A = this chain, B = another copy of it.
Amino acid sequence: MNISGKNFIGDKLSGDGKVYYKTINPLKNIENQIEFVEATSNELEQAIDLADAAFPVYRELHGRIRADFLKSIADEILNLGDDLINIYCQETGLPQGRAIGERGRTIFQLKLFASVIEKENWRKNIHEEAITEREPTPKPSLTKTHIPLGPIVVFGASNFPLAYSTAGGDTASALAVGCPVIVKSHPMHSGTGSIIASAIIKASKKTGMPNGVFSNLNSKSFDLSHELVKHPKIKAIGFTGSYSGASALNESVLKRQEKIPFFAEMGSVNPIAITESAIEKVDKKMVQMLAGSISLGAGQFCTQPGLLLVTDSKYTDRFVKDLDKTLKEVGAQCMIHPDLKKNYIYQSDKIKNLKGVIEIQANNNELDDNLAHPKLYMVSGNDFIANSQFQEEVFGPFSLIIKCKDLNEMEQVIKNLEGQLTGSIFAKEFDYKQITPLIQAFKSKVGRLLFNDVPTGVEVSEAMTHGGPYPASSDSRFSAVGPDSIYRWVRPITYQNWPKELIEKLIH
């Protein structure tokens, strides 16, 4: 494996900077060997100038040609073989199976976007003929199509080093429609980012893309990120990460003279409402499903269910006990980075100290390692509603049970929630009338509503919505997952009164 630790400024490796950093192996709690050199302001300018120059060429290419590029990226990622899997595991502590699974998802996404653009019908071209004899005024001919916005900056996620980072959903969707991409490498997995960047550059050369369609910049400090989002030649931003990270960047975005779309997927606490009927009978499968979703990947998913809404019934205690027991069996898991472990302790302690909290599963004897134990706390619906701090995301294998007096209070809890990526309802089908108020309340809050199912494991397909009312995402009108996610990076344009021969040259 040959990772230089340098930045990719288009197809050139560049390391002019003087600030170095290393990634961490969280399993061993040691630094990995490679030294990454932070990109300088000058290198940032070079990358953006290249992207800006590549844009008018790149956007005019037929979808078939950009599709070949995407498919070639997928091939080159596979060609990285074990080198990729090894560095992924070294930098995240996640098991090999997860690395292989996420690589599969990344490749699937690249091929999906390739298939979306190949035939150019994503442009939704509409042509209206002129009606010269119309009264009182003639109608001009109009042709509407969609075109890319321009160079995009992508900030990848800490928890998806492949599928939502360097060659992940944001990058693939933006490259697909003709936007050059500059990735700000995630400092927790810059090696994984770097080796993926090398695959993208290889594919870009092989398929003859203009230099500058892709750059990859290293940085551990935030300065470079703010410089990137403020740059006048950047025309949109894709971000996957925390609310606080997105908010800090947004401050810089708002200082821009030219306002641009800033799409941020910021995660949420993904409430699951469980009715009495759902827990009336012992349902091991359901409890395992819930415990599995809470603790999957050490709870490091934006769709991790951090809130469980139950009503106070004679079945509640038993259900809580079962869940507690099942979660205990999961045991401790390694988190992606020591900082995430620290944050997990900090956030869960914060919840613990709020008024009315009961510890069901405490695991307070945390060791000085990166293993996180599941935690399960409980609070009444009343106390939950009284304090909005209960809604803060605890990133890790944590869930807060909200014990509501009845379905009415449960409805009130939902109405008091902030925007969410997902909401779920567990009930028997014949509860439909009873759960209708819950459905209605959730409709105003979530981007995806599940029935007797858990929110982790986001399907990548046309019918998926991954987004939701603020602060789950910055703009609920778009999805970060699936073919429609390309519409974050394009805009309509209408050609009026152009002769037919010229229109054919103008649109794809």
Contacts and interface: CB of A to CB of B under 8 A. Distances in A.
Interface in A425-483: 429, 432, 439-440, 443-444, 446-453, 457, 459, 461-465, 467, 469-471, 474-477, 479
A476 B146 CA distance: 11
Given A449-B494, A487-B477, A491-B477, A429 B463 contact: no
Contact of A462 (B126, B137, B258, B464): B126
A342 B7 CA distance: 55
A418 interface: yes
A496 B439 CA distance: 13
B440 A56 contact: yes
A499 B149 contact: no
A506 interface: yes
A140 interface: yes
A147 interface: yes
Contact of A429 (B56, B432, B496, B499): B499
A464 B491 CA distance: 12
A475 B479 CA distance: 17
Contacts of A150: 444
Contact of A453 (B464, B467, B497): B497
Interface in A115-142: 126-128, 136-137, 139-140, 142
Contact of A502 (B144, B147, B451): B451
A477 B463 contact: no
A143 interface: yes
A139 B459 contact: yes
Contacts of A444: 56, 150
Interface string A321-345: 0000000000000000000000000
A443 B495 CA distance: 10
Contacts of A282: none
Nearest to A449: B495
A493 interface: yes
A493 B443 contact: yes
A463 B261 contact: no
A101 B143 CA distance: 25
Contacts of A149: 476-477
Contacts of A346: none
B448 A496 contact: yes
Contact of A506 (B254, B439, B457): B439
A144 to B, nearest CB: 4
Given A139-B459, A419-B258, A492 B465 contact: yes
Interchain residue pairs A-B with the least CB separation, the first 7: A142-B463, A453-B497, A465-B494, A144-B463, A476-B491, A450-B496, A465-B492
16 contacts: A128-B462, A142-B459, A142-B461, A142-B464, A150-B444, A258-B471, A259-B470, A261-B475, A447-B492, A448-B496, A449-B498, A450-B496, A452-B497, A463-B494, A465-B492, A477-B490
